[in-house]
Amino acid sequence: MHERAPGRTRGRAPSYPISLMPRISVTQCVCRRFPFERLLPLARDRGWTLADVMRETGCGDNCGLCRPYLRRMLETGETSFSELLTE
């Protein structure tokens, strides 16, 4: 009989206690390597919408993974996120 890796069950993804799950920190557009803390003042000074940010910087216009973070950044002023956001 084969041994399974710890935390692994047959046919299921590994399960780990929430305290052992990796923490995320989203602070920039990955494609453009543009930090949100630099982008926010620029966007506010120029009165940019999400569409403007995408057009002027390319952020959110490539893979799109940062788009929900950009939207939240523009709405709330947050520039660091520790949760997964989706559209």
Q: How many domains does the chain have?
A: 1
String of DSSP letters for 20-48: GSPP--B-EETTTTEEHHHHHHHHHHHT-
Residue 18 lies inside a defined structural domain of this protein: no
Is residue 68 a part of any domain in this protein?
Answer: yes
Find the domain containing 58 and state its range.
23-76
Q: Is residue 62 part of a domain?
A: yes
Q: Report the predicted TM-score, pTM, of the whole model to 2 decimal places.
A: 0.74
Q: Which of 21, 41, 13 is nearest to 82 (CA)?
A: 21
SS3 81: strand
**Angstrom distance (rounded) from CA 23 to CA 53:** 27
Q: Does residue 43 fall inside a structural domain?
A: yes
pLDDT tens, the chain, 87 aa long: 555 555 555 667 666 676 666 788 999 999 999 999 999 999 999 999 999 999 999 999 999 999 999 999 999 999 999 999 987
